[in-house]
Amino acid sequence: MKIPFVKMHALGNDFIIFDNIDNPTIHDAKFINKISNRRLGIGCNQVIIIENTDNPENFNVKMYNSDGSETGACGNGTRCVADYLMKKNNLNSLTIKSISNDLLCTKTHNSVTVNMGIPKFGWNEIPLSKKQDTQNVKLDEFRAFCLSMGNPHAVIFVSNLAELENLQLKSIGPRLEKHASFPEYANIEFVSVLEDKTLRVRVWERGAGMTSACGSGACATLVAASILNRSAKENKIVLDGGDLFIKWLDNGSVLLSGDTEKVFEGFMGE
């Protein structure tokens, strides 16, 4: 049986999208792991499955990391699937319903914006393994500001850009992702404040590894930097794949904006 799919990306953060496919195979962790593999499958950071919905402007989705684990707060994935659905259904706004929360999405020209909701700061909301100061969590040789954007994040500020670019993220990332402080593992963001006050970020994404961009990670970075007086509440986040734009609203919710692109569509076998 041939299964149709769409491949999209946001700043190189890439996704395979299944649209209303009534086939349990696409939810299987082994299947997801295989098609996410860049040598054995199509290749992606996350797999997104659009499920049936009775409301044409509210879409239920399932999101899976490339290792097969389910996630609910993939900002760039949400923006990509929102762009796909808005074009398909001739909409300017819609709501993506995930396991974490309901995400309102809008589009202006080529930029797709998603409201990622209100960050959570309680140690048990992130979650951390024990009660502690969430703004100063010791992770081996690093100190992190930890919070949840619907998924756990650890934001680590480094002293300068050279230190950031020289970090051996492929060895540090997996160690911190699965640190004992994180019972559900965590996304790791390393950050340097640039001369123009924008934020340069490198990301190790939970369940996906080193990625060129991470939407929820960009949101977590802006929130942490703002609280620590390292950034305004609206800023540009410079990632390996390009720029995202984050605004922390007065009502507490966080807006994530940036470009998306459809790469190709096709069919795969089970």
What amino acid positions are annotated as catalytic residues? 74, 214
Q: Which two tokens stand for residue 42?
A: 């199509």
CA distances from 249 to 26, 176, 252, 253 (A): 37, 30, 5, 6
- For residue 268, give the amino acid letter: M
166 Cβ neighbours under 8 A, 6+ residues apart: none
What region does 228 belong to: left with phi over 0, alpha with psi -120 to 50, or beta? Answer: alpha
Give the count of alpha carbons within 13 A of 203, CB side only: 29
Q: Which two tokens stand for residue 14?
A: 């890439």
What region does 207 belong to: left with phi over 0, alpha with psi -120 to 50, or beta? Answer: left
